[in-house]
Structure 1
């Protein structure tokens, strides 16, 4: 006689589980996650605490961070409630400085995020790249050997009409030997100083006397020179936009500071070493 009742109870339970759970309010900054002695700790407090963690801690799993941050905030709130007396100056002054700093940073962030004028970006590009004289680039080949005697012998053969690429493939000990000694295009600062100095003084088509570097002795042929090309605007856009934004921020800071009613007279005559008086903060 009990069997139908058991079945009905099970069916009712299954139906109950299948019903949609009543919708809960979406969590937000004001969502309370704990209270300590009547003081609320919210999701907002936790989010700010997480954002201030060092990068390596932010990589921890969410469930570990959630519990760890909540535990810390609970402990801090409980401890703060036990403070006997007023906050020491080091705390109140630090809070004032922090508020000042965060508020100023918010203003700067607003200036940084304002839309950019494309003309300003183009002007920065013209100033930094397009209007500047571009440096020289060199296309050279070389034959690398161990001794000056070998290099002199190679130079003599080249002066007598030997083919440079063939000589490089046959004689050079450098990695470019199999490709006829070709080094491709390079600009200033990309080669060792003595090698670069020799190339800079050469004319296209000329072959150098032996040049010594830490790698050995080189016989160099300058194939061609050209002026380096300025990068395209799009390839440096991100860099230029950041520069324009930073310049705009600096100009805003100067404008606001100049417009402010600032009186520094009270600081005149103070000994700069007064800032070392940490005992005043106790």
Structure 2
């Protein structure tokens, strides 16, 4: 398959020989920055090229990027002008696919840009939170050690009156040890299953027998429990607006596809393995 030219060589050279770019009056997307055999290269072409660069190259100094990108576009234009004959299918079909994809993307952007009404936002909030069962949340501390023998000894020490937080500071190997083993508040799904199951079966103020997880052996103290409340609408507004827009996009895709005259009958009976015949594109 054909490989597109990269910006690597041009940017490497530009980094060594970059010069300040001459100032222009009110440049814009249609501003012509170079011509190659009467073919114009504009700032718009350069902006698109820059936007498709890997992130590490976008961090290069502006003057280096400007010269490197312009050099690349000049080289590509000169090479394109030198081509004679008909373009192979891999090129013409790639152009068609890219045009289709970019145009579809613009249609999606149009839907995503639509305002989300207060009614739509409230409906999304109600669907997610109004009838949701309140979840129990836990505030717990733990002491993490490598072996069951160590955990048994720690449990016996705490049952004998030792302060849980002080033992955690002294003996826990977990990152919460220096803080007395405190894990703060957490809800369902935030801890590994064995740990969560043990906590869910405890009474506030109690200390568990040793519990094994993939991290080691835990001695757990359940400090408090509470019933989690649904967040205020304003606290989740941005998240809900995104959900509403994504739903609109999916609905638009389904509606437009259903309304279009689509005939897939020509694809029936074709062996799916033909998609491996990339030599057809040469």
- Short-chain TM bin: 0.7 to 0.9
1:151 aligns with 2:149: no
* 2:9 paired residue number: none
* 1:202 paired residue number: 202
Instruction: Give the conservation status (yes or no) of the 8 Å contact 1:35–1:41.
Output: yes
Instruction: Give the conservation status (yes or no) of the 8 Å contact 2:136–2:188.
Output: yes
- Which sections of structure 1, spanning at least 5 residues, go unmatched? 1-23
How far apart are residue 259 of structure 1 and its match?
A: 0.4
Within-5 A mapping of 1:69-148: 69-140=69-140, 146=150, 148=152
2:86 alignment partner, SS class: coil
- Which sections of structure 2, spanning at least 5 residues, go unmatched? 1-23
* 2:254 paired residue number: 254
Deviation beyond 6 Å, 4+ runs, structure 1: 142-145, 175-182
Give the structure-1-normalised TM-score.
0.75
How far apart are residue 265 of structure 1 and its match?
A: 1.0
The count of residues paired between Structure 1 and Structure 2 equals: 249
Name the CA shift for 1:171/1:107 in 2 (closer, same or farther; >3 Å). closer
1:81 alignment partner, SS class: helix
Give the structure-2-normalised TM-score.
0.75
2:45 alignment partner, SS class: helix
* 2:14 paired residue number: none
C-alpha separation between the residues in 1 aligned to 2:164 and 2:32? 77
Name the CA shift for 1:171/1:102 in 2 (closer, same or farther; >3 Å). closer
Deviations 1:29-53 (A, max 9, x none): 2222211112221222222212222
How far apart are residue 200 of structure 1 and its match?
A: 1.8
How far apart are residue 90 of structure 1 and its match?
A: 1.1
1:247 alignment partner, SS class: helix
Within-5 A mapping of 1:156-235: 157=160, 167-168=163-164, 173-174=170-171, 184-190=184-190, 193-204=193-204, 207-208=206-207, 210-213=209-212, 218=219, 222-235=222-235
Select between 231-240 and 77-86 the one with higher mean Cα deviation: 231-240
Name the CA shift for 1:39/1:194 in 2 (closer, same or farther; >3 Å). closer
C-alpha separation between the residues in 2 aligned to 1:43 and 1:209? 67
* 1:241 paired residue number: 241
How far apart are residue 138 of structure 1 and its match?
A: 2.4
